[in-house]
Structures are given as structure tokens and as C-alpha cells.
Amino acid sequence: MDYNTDMGGDIFQGGCQSRLCTDRRKCPTPIISRYTFFGGRRKTIRRGGDKKSHIYVDLYSVRLLIAVVSLMLLSWVDAFLTLELIDKGTAVEANPVMAYVLKYGTTPFTMIKFSITACCLVVLCLLKNVKMARIFLPCAIKFYLVVVIYELYLFML
């Protein structure tokens, strides 16, 4: 390291006075930090070289918010239509885990369905810069749309 001394005897390194400085960018943003929920400033990854190692940001886009809210609404519509179709006798729950939970009633069914959906969406938000998450989120919305349209078709019969 190259240390320079000014007239007063203070040590300078890269503009930092009286201390040894390290490059703050060498430490990537952690997945969850105090800035995840309050006061963050990173919306995107700015440098091309950081795209591989720095994948977490502090602020999320309105587009991501719309996608997450859309998925939660589609999940709610799916749960409602599934319960109505099962009550009507037109359909059965295709997911074996949720079919097992449905034996305990509609409240545990909806609570677990929304909990699983919400946990997955939190992970997708935190990993929004990972290529797999960027591919999965639009695919999940399209899948839920197809399921809801099919359930609406069954409901109209």
C-alpha cells in the first residue's frame, strides 16, 4: 500500500485521513440488512462487473410490486374458486399437500396457501436480480392466470 504523509504528519491513503481505508464495494450488500426495509438507496446494480457478485438491492421497483401484488391476488382468486368448486362438487384439489390440509378445514387451507405464496414471493423479491427469479416471476403469473381462467370456466359450467 502506498502511504503519503502531509505536512502535519497525518497518514493519507486514497483520501482517508488518519485511518486505513478499505474499498466498501468489496463487501457486497447482504441479503437482509437494515437498509432492506428502511433507508436504502440501491435500486439497481450499476457496474457490469458487480452483476455476478452483488445481487441484492435496497429499493425495489414499482414493476416488481405490481407483479407481487398480482400474484397474491391471483392466489387469493385461485383459493376462492378452488373452495367454491370443491363445495359445488365440480372439482377436487389437485395438489396432494393442499388436499391433505383441506381435510382440516377451509381456514387452515387458506392460511397455509397464503403463507407459502407469501414466503416464495419474499424470496423472489430478495433474489430479483438473479436470472432464475427474473424468469420465474412472469412465468408464475402466466401459470396462475391459466389456472384461474380454467377454474372460471369450470365455475361457469
Q: List pLDDT tens digits, range 50-83.
A: 555 555 666 677 898 899 999 999 999 999 999 9
Residue 113 · residue 107 · CB < 8 Å: no
C-alpha cell at 155: 365455475
C-alpha cell at 82: 378452488
Residue 91 · residue 82 · CB < 8 Å: yes
Residue 12: pLDDT band with limits 50, 70, 90: very low
What is the predicted pLDDT for the residue at 52?
A: 57
pTM comes to: 0.67
> Which stretch, 2-6, 29-33, 131-135, has highest mean pLDDT?
131-135
> Is residue 91 helix, strand or coil?
coil
Task: Report the half-sphere exposure of 29 (CA within 13 A, side-chain side).
Answer: 24
Mean pLDDT of 26-37: 60
pLDDT, greater one: 135 or 29: 135
SS3 string, 14-74, reads CCEECCCCCCHHHCCCCCCCHHHHCCCCCCCCCCHHHCCCCCCCCCCCHHHHHHHHHHHHH
